Amino acid sequence: MEKTTKENRKYIGFFGRTNVGKSTIVNALTGQEVSIVSQEKGTTTDVVKKNMELFGYGAVVIVDTAGLDDNTTLGEKRIKASLHALTQMDLAVLVVSENTFSEIESSFIEKCKKYDIPVVVVYNKSDITPANKEIKEKVSLELGNHSAESMLLLSNIISETLKAKEGERKTPLQNIVKKGDVILLVTPIDSSAPQGRLILPQVQLIRDVLDKDCVCVVVKETELEMVLNEKKIKPDLVVTDSKVFEMVDKIVPKEIKMTSFSVVLARMKGAFDEYIKGTPYLDKLKDGDRVLMLESCTHQPTCEDIGRVKLPMWISKYTGKNLEFSAVSGLSEIETPLTDFAMIIQCGGCVATSQQIRNRLLPALENNVPVSNYGLVIAYIHGIFNRATEIFK
Ligand code: SF4
């Protein structure tokens, strides 16, 4: 599925057999003709998506998919596309009707569990065929019409489910700082810095420091020594941009905890525990090994230079091996099996959700292919991996 991921915009996919009324619900919910609706089976043949403001929640993308029960050759391709789209969802709405709930629905719910995606089951067309007792136990909502009131009920269930899921999510500094701690952020302002503002990871961290009732001190690397030695500021934690990691590592006394923005964000997004385990595999790479750089951008990555030029160069220099690097952008299906690679290195995923990154890495994780992340690899090859990850152990 071509994807135009926007930061923090959640993806909500509507799934179910053909003709259960997915598109009718999607159109009623979004208030616009997103999907073609007809009584003819299989009218939605491709994945269709629409941005909307979900009442009580905020910006989301609503995704309508082809039926899960089309057994023609073309239908099988569409089912594959729908199931691939599932891996990119933050929430799935499974639409059922006519008291039909069998293997297709059960195995869909199993897939959602595997990808850790919450499912809301909606029973549609209850005005024509009322839900029986067995179905009633499985569904969150019965729809007999698609009035504004019904859609409001559906919006509320989706919003609450999304919020409950978010409640489980980590914030950047969760469990590593406590109220009153002084957090010092080192943010170089060089020619690559945007004019007149800070970049998103820096802003996210400042906000998290304030949310946790801590004290935030922000400096450029050029003022770091002065702040520590002359101003006598004693930080509990230093978080630095990876670009100046080595310099900051030398300046900040060893007894002060230190990490980088990219390591903090890697913990928030993706498969952090597996990154920690997988990163030392850099030392085991051999001549001829294939290394995959996974970028989450669909547009030209703003950090293309890092993933395609600098990191391959640094890794080759560090390992002294003749490695073969490939890069894949976006969130669409990766054609080469992930097991063909000796190691996979995921970008920071600034425009992807944690769920999307994790689900994309799942085939590698299931087959024990070592995975890491740009920030952790940078820390490792610069000899500061242990210090940068110590606070998370
Ligand atoms: S970190 Fe990943 S998602 Fe962010 S700009 Fe770079 S390639 Fe794109």
Averaged pLDDT for residues 35-40: 56
d(CA 204, CA 198): 10
Per-residue pLDDT, 156: 94
Tell me, in angstroms, the distance from the centre of ligand 1 to residue 130's CA: 48
Place of tokens 């569990």: 113
Alpha carbon separation from 27 to 19, 22, 119, 138, 391 (Å, rounded): 14, 9, 20, 24, 48
d(CA 168, CA 208): 16
Tell me, in angstroms, the distance from the centre of ligand 1 to residue 351's CA: 7
With a pLDDT cut of 90, the percent of the chain lying above it is 62
Is residue 233 within 8 A of residue 260, CB to CB? The reply is no
Each residue of 173-217: pLDDT tens digit? 988 999 999 999 999 998 877 888 998 889 999 999 999 999 999
Q: Which atom of ligand 1 is nearest to the CA of 296?
A: 3
Per-residue pLDDT, 38: 55
Residues with CB under 6 A from ligand 1: 295-297, 301-303, 347-352
CA atoms lying within 13 Å on the CB side of residue 224: 23
Averaged pLDDT for residues 20-24: 93
Query: Can you spell out the DSSP letters for 260-300?
Result: EHHHHHHHHSS-HHHHHHHGGGGGG--TT-EEEEE---SS-
All structural domains of the chain: 10-167 (3.40.50.300), 182-264 (3.40.50.11420), 271-386 (3.40.50.11410)
Each residue of 271-297: pLDDT tens digit? 899 999 999 999 999 999 999 999 988
Tell me, in angstroms, the distance from the centre of ligand 1 to residue 227's CA: 32
Helices (H) and strands (E) in the chain, counts: 15, 14
Tell me the pLDDT band of 42, cut-offs 50, 70 and 90: low
Is residue 95 within 8 A of residue 122, CB to CB? The reply is yes
d(CA 130, CA 136): 9
Average pLDDT of the residues of the chain = 89
Q: Which two tokens stand for residue 333?
A: 């299906």
User: At residue 143, does pLDDT exceed 70?
Assistant: yes
